[in-house]
A and B are shown apart, each in its own frame.
Chain A
Amino acid sequence: MSSVTSSTTELSRDQLVAFISDEYPKVVAAVALITGDRAGAEDSVQDALASLWQRRDGFRPDNLAAWVTVVATNRSRSAQRRHGAEARAVGRLDRPDPAVADTSARLADADLVARALERLPEQQRKVAVLHYLGDHSVSDIAAALDLSEGTVKTHLSRARAALSDALNQGADL
């Protein structure tokens, strides 16, 4: 399964500016949610973008945002492993501050989802974030993660069930 197109046109600076304007904040947020490392997320996303834009072999992912999210996540994970920081990073994951959080359902849901995400297996978390935050289709997620669409659907279904449980339990509190 390949996410490479046949285009040999090099990516331009204009395309990078457009990506930064339209996709960059959401991609950084997605990586931060998956890895639990907000500071490292932006660094990894920039690293992935720099590497891609410096390539001269015509490689262009079909879905740039999904591809950058996955590559940056992998890079962030590698860095975390090297630094043994994963456990600490998860604890740094920003959530809506309960002290100032209002009682609105939306913020409450976000908090519950953030907590539930931390407990999800890595692949489920990736798929859920790519789908619900990145707004990527199953086929695009499958291509970016190099998985079959069936596998992605399974991960998404399980993640959805776990997140649903979290929301329901939160509602019972």
Chain B
Amino acid sequence: MSEHDPLDERLSEAFKQLGGTHSPAVGDPQVLADRILDRPTGASVDGPRGPRASGLPWRFLAVLGAVALAGVATGAWAGATRSAPASAVVELGSVTLFDCPGGGYLGRLTSGDRIVLTGRTADSKWVELRDPTDLSARAWVDAAAVEADNDIAGLAVSECGGTVTTAPTSIPEETSTTLVEETTTLVEETIPPSTSTAPPPVSSTTVPRQSTTTAPPGPSPTPAPTPAPDRTGPTLSNVGASPNPIWTQAQPGVPCPPAKSKLTTTVNAAVSDPSGVASVHLEWAVNGRSGTANMAPVGGTWRGTIGPFAPDTLPTSGAGMNQAVTVTVRATDAAGNTSSQNISFELRSSAECFG
């Protein structure tokens, strides 16, 4: 089946059209990656899937880790999430989401959907959850319609709008001993290391929270840090190369099939810095050869391309036919600070196509 057969070309074009018709809008890959990584998967990777939830585009699955993460970020909510029920499964065939108990209609959940609970009414007839359509918002459902993993009495009593009025009865001692008005910030993003000078993560929802217990005074609240001069390089994250692997350019007279004709790879990196990112470039090396390439910001991500590689970049036989290309992504901020991160991808010899 020749690559240049008119029928194959016509079919490829038709499939390309169909692919475009059926391709979803991805939005921000970072957000989608987080959702996928937070997705609970009870079944083995090749096994049958668990009970299927609705096919609604906003189908929501439990993000227990995110809630726990939020608690760790503040130190106050962490204790509560350890003992409070944090997730539940929709039990009835179809459950209505409201903006407040008995309030306005938001949408529907379907039997089997897993939700994250964040509070309850004082009479425990309604439970508050993270709104599946907007993870930074809150919604309410009839408590009888969901089956919580634990007793919902352990949930904090909450009011419509997100203000927790009563701390959970099961809140651990180390949390309940503080008598301060604090702000619990629920974050959707990975918490940066404590040594990082990057700005704090963007908060999606702020929930004023006050403990009602009287207890010995705890440590004083930490005053807001004074911004320090920027002496650190940009923060690099989500650095990766795709596609991976790629191949060297075809050997003369030996064309590779399309799947082995990927000759370049795109290096992506999320780069941020309080002072602003001045430039990002990459340096690569493989089998005694090296090079550099500039990276450019594309939709919030810095991108650069590596390749194509000449046919003689790698040996055409033996173990050296496949080698790792080491890549250093180096970023400089407006203050002149630099930082870098290393990754690698695989380069294969197109001599494979002999086989």
Contacts and interface: CB of A to CB of B under 8 A. Distances in A.
A65 B268 CA distance: 18
Interface string A138-173: 101000000000000000110010011001000000
B243 A26 contact: no
Contacts of A54: 37, 41
Counting chain A CB atoms within 10 Å of each CB, the highest count among B52, B243, B258 belongs to: B52
A39 B57 contact: yes
Give the size range of A's interface with the partner. 35 or more
Nearest to B262: A135
Contacts of A132: 8, 11-12, 14-15
Nearest to B341: A14
B22 A29 contact: yes
Given A20-B26, A39-B55, A132-B12, A137 B257 contact: yes
A46 B36 contact: yes
Nearest to A72: B49
Interface in B205-251: 237-244
B310 interface: no
B22 A94 contact: yes
Contacts of B44: 51
A133 B20 CA distance: 10
Contact of A50 (B24, B39, B240, B268): B39
B240 A15 contact: yes
B285 interface: no
A114 B45 CA distance: 29
Interface string B5-28: 001101111111111111110100
Nearest to A32: B22
Contacts of A17: 29-30, 33, 238, 240, 268
Given A20-B32, A50-B39, A114 B18 contact: yes
B240 A12 contact: yes
Majority secondary structure of chain B interface residues (helix, strand, loop or mixed)? mixed
A165 B328 CA distance: 51
B108 interface: no
B37 A79 contact: no
B319 interface: no
A132 B15 CA distance: 6
A18 B327 CA distance: 15
Interface string B247-285: 000000000011110000010100000000000000000
Interface in B299-355: 301, 343
A54 B48 CA distance: 16
A50 B38 CA distance: 8
Contacts of A164: 7, 11
Contacts of A30: 19
A43 B61 CA distance: 11
Counting chain B CB atoms within 10 Å of each CB, the highest count among A17, A41, A42 belongs to: A17
A79 B16 CA distance: 27
Contacts of B55: 37, 39-40, 43
Contact of A113 (B11, B242, B257): B11
Contact of B14 (A46, A82, A106): A106
Contacts of B24: 24-25, 28, 42
A94 B21 contact: yes
Contacts of B239: 14
Contacts of A49: 36
Given A38-B22, A39-B55, A133 B260 contact: no
Nearest to A75: B49
A103 B21 CA distance: 17
Given A33-B22, A74-B46, A23 B41 contact: no
A63 B259 contact: yes
B14 A110 contact: yes
A78 B33 CA distance: 24
Contacts of B39: 46-47, 50
Contacts of B21: 29, 94-96, 110
A74 to B, nearest CB: 7
A83 B52 contact: yes
B1 interface: yes
A22 B17 contact: no
The 3 closest A-B CB pairs, nearest first, are A18-B242, A14-B240, A25-B23
Interface of A: 12-26, 28-30, 32-33, 37-44, 46-55, 59, 63, 71, 74-75, 78-79, 82-83, 94-96, 106-107, 109-110, 112-114, 129, 132-133, 135-138, 140, 156-157, 160, 163-164, 167
